[in-house]
Structure 1
């Protein structure tokens, strides 16, 4: 297992050089996926991903950091647009794509089609940040996309949970879905805020009494997202939103200047390194999974009544196209609706087609 981890990290290191050596611009995650595929096809290393372990190791620190560093004023300024994308767009996409998948693949039950739609509808905060890091996207648009991707997992998880329940039981309740959503979202946010506040308050008291040690302070910041995530999951709330809320709370706590300047500088370096490593490993692992995905493609296609593997590409392309069209429709309607509400505000401008197109195309689905 250790050698696999070292190979993955070596692939991440290599990707940083390869992306600079290429004569053309290419997003770093795509290079990392290619390196992962090369590792899989040229070596005997195989990684069996356990979803629970994968989520626990990678999501809490990365989402915590995104929540910590996202500009809070921009988040509050565009809160209505972000919430419309994070909640309304996910539900709109799940319904539209679910019906389309069932129409495209009649052998797939309706509930299963909705479950698949719930998986692919939310945008991925890690993928959005990684893909857009080297892409010239306007800052305000980028902040909206980051805010959307940080918050839309709760709505996606609720849709997925009830699609699975409908597939197993044949029943669906809007009231139960609404209650579950409130529990997942508000519970996760409350736990994230509470965990961060309690830990930082305790840490501050101890530092004032006994002095501050940089190593311990940095380690505490690394442990906070895991504490928030695990506690939220323990109470059947959204661990993802708990990690995000913990990061946002951390940024407000930092305003009080609890940590020394030297500690903040060292901590920032550690988090930058961790972000690069974890982001890279995620995409290298995604590439490493390609042989298994390709191997299972034929069986999947045959289950739909076809015998040519390229039908899977047609299905994937058609679903991706519908995802893009539905997102474009919602983004256009959302931005224009917000413009109508804010028309009286100074500096308010009708969103251009370019902005709508950028926000539609930049809704990245992740690993």
Structure 2
């Protein structure tokens, strides 16, 4: 099948499975997509694709990692850099050494260097898989951020370890000093190059938009979507980590976006575009993984000569050991760092054995592991087959499935047993920021009209004051929704004040819902006017766009109102 047709089919099925997942909420979307991919390729005449690891890494991984680097909260990321680096670097080395020797002990026919290659392949967690599985399960926010930060950075250390394990197998030569130098060059070079690419794009974009404004929003969004591919390909061409280059470009671009508050159209188009890209490419990654399963499993079972349970038991043993090593490192190597972060207020939840178990189960492997396994050469320099390659690919694939299934089943059970974390810190900060914004708007409206307008016409002043009164009342309602009762009040007054706040919030909630209903009525009338030929398509689009923007704003305010009301009822 042609490559273009394959990509289009994969994107199509990715969208369809996303819709199907709305009706199958008990099954995580990645598992649905893997199962569909396997079903599509299982029959003799099914959809069979030659999986090119380099093409896969270049096409699907950079935009997803760029988006994760762009979205991840930077303040918390740098505050939690200690535990993140211990997982991204220390855990990978610990896993390669520990699991490598274990694999060689379990399967003596595999040379030690090949066992280290397998351990390196399965050592990094997958950012796409971790986010897809854990995003809606209730993982504490800061713990989730540690997991995301780990999966963003550990690909480079895992792939460098794989590179040297394969080189040791091919040449019989290994040097720890060479490994250290190569890792520093690959990691630091990738991060530096990505930051430079992101900064260069941001500077160019600022120079252009200062001249033309928001008119070029669509073109800038398109260039932004192409940016991770440019960072990745340039990094691979220069011999550094293209994956880390894409992540660093996302980081840098996000910092530049903090100075672009006035570019509304660009910002809205960017959010919508990345939502589509992430959804499509996430689905494609897991579908492609599923499409490879039948051929990988089939070839291994044929080699096993009917003893299918032997490779299956090896998968279970290696996967269980992988999770066990992760639990051990989290307990011994990271827990103290997390305790210090908790004492400094960087993590709201106290590290407990139950939380450590949840973080262990969240160590999910994904498509990068499969791409790394399939990138192992087929032959040795003399023409002999690479030792144990087919079994290595099977074990890596089995580990992906095992961690996905165990994480999908075990994480919800463990997270339900975690104590309620209370109101997240970011919710309180968000409320404070909204209060500051509303108060600043009221203070601006309260300025004397002459300070903002030269007119002294009595009619204009009257209309101005009337408009200021309506706007101030609306901001006052929003402040009433967000404010808490004074802590210094007596318990009785505090309880009465809390009840008054709850009543105000409930009234505001009802008002927002009524405004939303009114917008729906307006929109239906506009479409009826167009169907009756009383307005044209251009007028319809302009009027509906205004209502859509209002609805987006109202829906966000409604979410805040509901969340705040539920928080009040809990307290």
Q: TM-score, normalised by structure 2?
A: 0.61
The aligned residue for residue 363 of structure 2 is 363
1-side partners of 2:254 and 2:62: how far apart?
16
Residues 204, 258 of structure 1: 8 Å contact kept: no
Deviations 1:115-166 (A, max 9, x none): 0110001101111111112322111111000000000011111211111121
Q: Which runs of 5+ in 2 are unaligned?
A: 368-571
Residues 123, 363 of structure 1: 8 Å contact kept: yes
The aligned residue for residue 27 of structure 1 is 28
**Residues 1:170 and 2:172 are matched in the alignment:** yes
2-side partners of 1:292 and 1:41: how far apart?
8
The aligned residue for residue 103 of structure 1 is 105
2-side partners of 1:151 and 1:95: how far apart?
19
Q: By how many angstroms is 1:237 displaced?
A: 0.3
Residue 284 to residue 233, structure 1, CA distance change in 2 (3 Å): same
Residue 238 to residue 347, structure 1, CA distance change in 2 (3 Å): closer
The aligned residue for residue 17 of structure 2 is 15
1-side partners of 2:38 and 2:234: how far apart?
35
1-side partners of 2:155 and 2:237: how far apart?
18
The aligned residue for residue 326 of structure 2 is 327
Q: By how many angstroms is 1:258 displaced?
A: 6.9
**Residues 1:255 and 2:258 are matched in the alignment:** yes
Alignment of 1:181-192 (within 5 A): 181-192=183-194
Larger Rg over CA atoms? 2
Residue 285 to residue 346, structure 1, CA distance change in 2 (3 Å): closer
**Residues 1:279 and 2:278 are matched in the alignment:** no
Q: By how many angstroms is 1:203 displaced?
A: 1.9
1-side partners of 2:54 and 2:159: how far apart?
14
The aligned residue for residue 65 of structure 1 is 67
SS at match of 1:289: helix
Q: By how many angstroms is 1:15 displaced?
A: 1.1
The aligned residue for residue 313 of structure 2 is 314
Q: By how many angstroms is 1:320 displaced?
A: 0.2
2-side partners of 1:347 and 1:163: how far apart?
37
**Residues 1:216 and 2:215 are matched in the alignment:** no
Larger RCO, structures 1/2 (Cα 8 Å, 6+ apart): 1
Residue 92 to residue 217, structure 1, CA distance change in 2 (3 Å): same
Task: Give the aligned length.
Answer: 362
The aligned residue for residue 93 of structure 2 is 91
2-side partners of 1:136 and 1:55: how far apart?
30
Q: By how many angstroms is 1:267 displaced?
A: 1.4
The aligned residue for residue 268 of structure 1 is 271
Residue 320 to residue 163, structure 1, CA distance change in 2 (3 Å): same
SS at match of 1:331: helix
Which is further off, 315-324 or 70-79?
Answer: 70-79
Q: Which residue of 301, 305, 308 maps to 2:304?
A: 301
1-side partners of 2:335 and 2:10: how far apart?
45
Q: By how many angstroms is 1:222 displaced?
A: 0.8
Residue 199 to residue 354, structure 1, CA distance change in 2 (3 Å): same
SS at match of 1:192: helix
The aligned residue for residue 37 of structure 1 is 38
The aligned residue for residue 236 of structure 1 is 239
2-side partners of 1:77 and 1:123: how far apart?
21
SS at match of 1:21: coil
SS at match of 2:42: helix
2-side partners of 1:171 and 1:346: how far apart?
47
Q: By how many angstroms is 1:343 displaced?
A: 8.2
2-side partners of 1:252 and 1:347: how far apart?
21
1-side partners of 2:339 and 2:70: how far apart?
32
Alignment of 1:98-137 (within 5 A): 98-137=100-139
Q: Which residue of 285, 288, 292 maps to 1:289?
A: 292
2-side partners of 1:243 and 1:294: how far apart?
32
Deviations 1:151-197 (A, max 9, x none): 00111112111111211222211111111111001000000000111
Residue 249 to residue 342, structure 1, CA distance change in 2 (3 Å): closer
Deviations 1:236-272 (A, max 9, x none): 0000000000001111010011771111101110110
Deviations 1:198-247 (A, max 9, x none): 12211211222244412211111011111111111111000000000000
Q: Which residue of 49, 54, 57 maps to 1:55?
A: 57
Q: Which runs of 5+ in 1 are unaligned?
A: none
Deviations 1:304-339 (A, max 9, x none): xxx512211101000000001000000111333215
Residues 27, 134 of structure 1: 8 Å contact kept: no
